Structures are given as structure tokens and as C-alpha cells.
Amino acid sequence: MALLGIDLGTSGVKALLIREDGTALASATVEYPLSTPRPLWSEQDPADWWRGVCEATQAVLLQAHLSGSDIRAMGISGQMHGLTLLDASGEVLRPAILWNDQRTGAQCDEITQLAGGKHRVLELTANVVLPGFTAPKILWVRENEPEVYARVAHVLLPKDYIRYKLSGEFATEVSDASGMSVFDVRRRTWSDEMLHALNIPREWMPRCAESHEVTAHVSATAAPAIGLAPGTPIVGGGGDNAAGAVGNGVVREGIVSASIGTSGVVFATAEKFAMEPEGNLHAFCHAIPDTWHMMGVMLSAGGSLRWHRDVISRGRVANDLSPISYDDLMSDVASVPAGAEGLVFLPYLTGERCPYPDPLARGAFIGLTLRHTQAHLTRAVVEGITYGLADSLTLIRGLGVRINEVRAVGGGARSAVWRQILADVFDAEITLINSSEGGAFGVALLAGVGAGVWSTTREACDATLKVTTRVEPTKDATVRARYAETYALYREMYPALAPIFSKLNT
């Protein structure tokens, strides 16, 4: 028997099959298009999601030489916040409006006012209202497409549309629902006060479960399309970040993940509900009962290094204008001392989200001198990204959440020199684990819990995930002092430059 994990991303869907001991059997990814019909808009056709899920699932079954009846249970992860509207007969009313759509700034302000102000919103939902979240999208449709809004009967998140197609059931789970701006994160249920304030009918919202709970079963109608047996259990699953945390074993307080992809995400498990008083961290339900997570997001982490490589750093041979390889970039970093000899980089190339929710923030090199070389600039970029991630850790520590170990995830985690910088700046052990399957693996584990393979999600992670690499902070007092000094200066730079950033954008 095997377990199936589906991870519905923005550019494609991944299907993963694992044995009940956690060993990966097969994986497949199917891409689908993204539409930007107007500036700031981002939409997808849910039919493309369903097609991709069916193709990816059939592909992994074929690779693993398994039939649908060999799948004991399945879980679904997915891109969060996307608005999928269905009518009373279950038909999609318009393209889904995605997490990265930015059209709803006015609706965010409207929601905050209707709910009684920012701090009342935080009391009700634990998060400020952002354009990426779901509720502003609902109001946008009401105000701009009244003929569509008049036919709405169901509001679903992307992964939960797949659950509906699989089973005919309207259900979600707590981690994904946390990012809709109408969910009471503290109490793990819909916020009736928020729904009433926004005049959104309660009956539009799907039933909400915990992430490991069986919420539906594959229907006889869907079974032939996807290749699974009718009756296959479908657990709640998780939003992409919570599912990824399960897949990385970040399921206990004290273990944190730092993901360095295009953006950067710091994710910390909390065994008691807590939220940053000004909403500078996301506070969501974790995919584990009676557990929450704090999350800080920086917009240009690995994206800053890619910009630096593509625009500034060039080959080592004379007249070679091609971008340098990442391996060569990181070897240059090792040749420069900690602190880049007084050079600091602000990684706000696309604005910032945490701890400064400022779309007008801009990147900068500060402290440039004739002594600084391309290698110094590269080290400053890597350190600046690390300082940006440390800002989220500082806020998380300020809420009393323990941080004993940081699991490095993403492209940046492959560099030994960057892992050492992370350990030194974070003042924490940096680890790598034996899996890089992320959200698809996480929801496959959740499926195993729902099916009784493991009794709890923590037990599932303990049984399947192991630390393979450990990096301790340096014992060199000079290096530690240099990073402490430079990080303190870094934290002064945005407040000092914010008025100038604003003027540059007027």
C-alpha cells in the first residue's frame, strides 16, 4: 500500500507517492498556465488544476507500477488565499483570483474599516488584511462583477476545489483557512463576527477540519478520471507553508525552518497561540491540532542573489560577460571576511513584507568604497538576505517562541558557506534533513495519519525524517561580534531610508 500527496502550486501541480515507511516511490509534475489579463492581476482556470492533478496522479501510478486500489489515502496541499467561486450547481463562475494578485488594495482598507480598525481585525483573525488574502477578493467581485457575485453559492480555496472535484464535498482545513481574513485563528473556526461585518454569508464557507482528519472520499464519478479507487480517503491536507513544514519535520516548538527560494520564509511552530501585536508576522493554525505557527516573509531572498548574479556578477575570464555560476559566487563569498568589510546590502528589491510591509522599500548597497570588489558585493548580498530572515526570527523570539534548531530549505541551503553564515547570524544550529519533497511529502504523511499508519503527525515525522547535516555557530568571538554589530546597523537602515524611498516613488 502507498500514500499519495498532491501539491497544487502556482506554476504546476506535483504528485508524490510514498510507501508507508516514508520512502518515495514516484513523483511527477504537470505545469499549467497563469493569466495576467491586466496589470496587478493574476488568475488561473481551475479546470487546468484538475487536469494537472489527474495527469500527475496517473503518471506516478504508472511509474510505481501501482493501481488506484493500492493507494491507502491521499492528502492535498496548495497555493493559499486563491478565490474560487462556485454556483449552486458546483460550476466555476470565473477564473480563480490568486495569492499574488494585487488588485484589492482598496478592499483591504474597506474590510479594516468595516471590522472596526486594524487592532479589531487582529483580535478577530490574528492577521492584518493583505491584498493576497481571500476576503478582499470576495469584496472586489461584489463591487466589480455583481452579476457573478449574485450567483455565488460556495467559496473554495484552490486545493479545496480539487477536493470538491474528487469527492463532491465542500471542505477545507484550518491551516489554509487561516489566510482568508474571515477565520478565527485562535479558536480554529470561522469568525462569525468578521463574516457578518463583511456581509459574507456563512453558508458559503466550507466545513473546516483539522489537517489530518478524513474530510471526503474519492467518488465513483471522479475515480476513472484520476485513476484512484472509489472510496479512497482524502484528509484535510494543508496550505503550502504548513504542509511544507510537516514535510520538513517542523512540527515542534524549538524547530524552525528558513526557506531561501525566490522569496524567504521563516516558519516557527508554537504550542500556544501567539501573535505579533502589530501583525508584522502571520499567525496561522498549524497542520497539527492545538498548534499554531508564526511566519515571516521577505519578498526578495534568493531573488536578490539572482539579480546580483545576472546584473552585476560576470565571468572570471577577460571579456566574458556571461553571468557567473552560483558555485563560483559562493566561493567568492568565502574569500571575504564576515561583515564584508563594512559593506551592507538591503534586499528590498521588490518592496518588503516582514517586518516592514512597505511596497515602496528599495534595495541598496551602503558603505561602498574603492576597496570593495565583486566578491565583497556578493558577500554583502548573502549577508543582507540573512539579516532580512533574522528580522523574522527576532520577532518570533520576541513572542517567547523557543528557537533551538533552524532547518535550512531551498536553493540557498545547498551552500555550506551560506549555512555557516545563517548559523552565525541566527545564533542557532542549522540543519539539513533527508527529504526535499516539501508540501507533497507533508500531506502524504498527513494522509498516513488519517489512515491510521501513524497515530500523530509528529510520530509520522519522527518515523520518516532524519537530520543529515548540522552546522553550529562559530566559536570565533570576533566573527560573532562583527555580525552582531553589522546586524544592529542593518536594523537602523530601513527606518532611516524609508522617507527617501517614499520620495523616490512619488
40 C-beta neighbours (distance < 10 Å), count:
12
C-alpha cell at 279: 501583525
How far apart (Å, rounded) are the C-alpha atoms in residues 422 and 74? Answer: 35
- How far is residue 245 CA from its own chain's centroid? 9
Q: What is the DSSP letter of 453?
A: S
Mapped to the 3 state alphabet, what secondary structure does 91-158 carry? CECCCEECCCCCCCHHHHHHHHHHCCCHHHHHHHHCCCCCCCCHHHHHHHHHHHCHHHHCCCCEEECH
Task: Considering the candidates 184, 240, 332, 424, report the single residue annotated as catalytic.
Answer: 240
The answer to whether the CB of 332 falls within 8 A of the CB of 390 is no
Concatenating the DSSP letter of every residue in 373-389 gives: -HHHHHHHHHHHHHHHH
For the chain, the C-alpha Rg in angstroms (whole number) is: 23
How far apart (Å, rounded) are the C-alpha atoms in residues 249 and 265? Answer: 15
456, amino acid identity: T
- H-only helix segments in 321-407: 326-334, 374-398
Q: Is 240 a catalytic residue?
A: yes
Which residues lie across from 263 on neighbouring strands?
none
C-alpha cell at 385: 538576505
Which residues lie across from 208 on neighbouring strands?
172
State how far the alpha carbon of 102 is from the alpha carbons of 137, 161, 329, 502, in Å. 10, 22, 34, 19
Give me the helix-helix angle, 374-398 and 416-426, nearest 10°: 40
Over the range 446-480, which residues count as b (16 or more CB within 10 Å of their CB) and which as e? bbbbbbebbeebbebbeebbeeeeebebeeeeebb
C-alpha cell at 199: 456581509
498 C-beta neighbours (distance < 10 Å), count:
15
CA nearest 487: which of 371, 380, 328? 380
CA angle 15, 19, 21 (to 5 degrees): 130
Residues assigned a catalytic role? 240
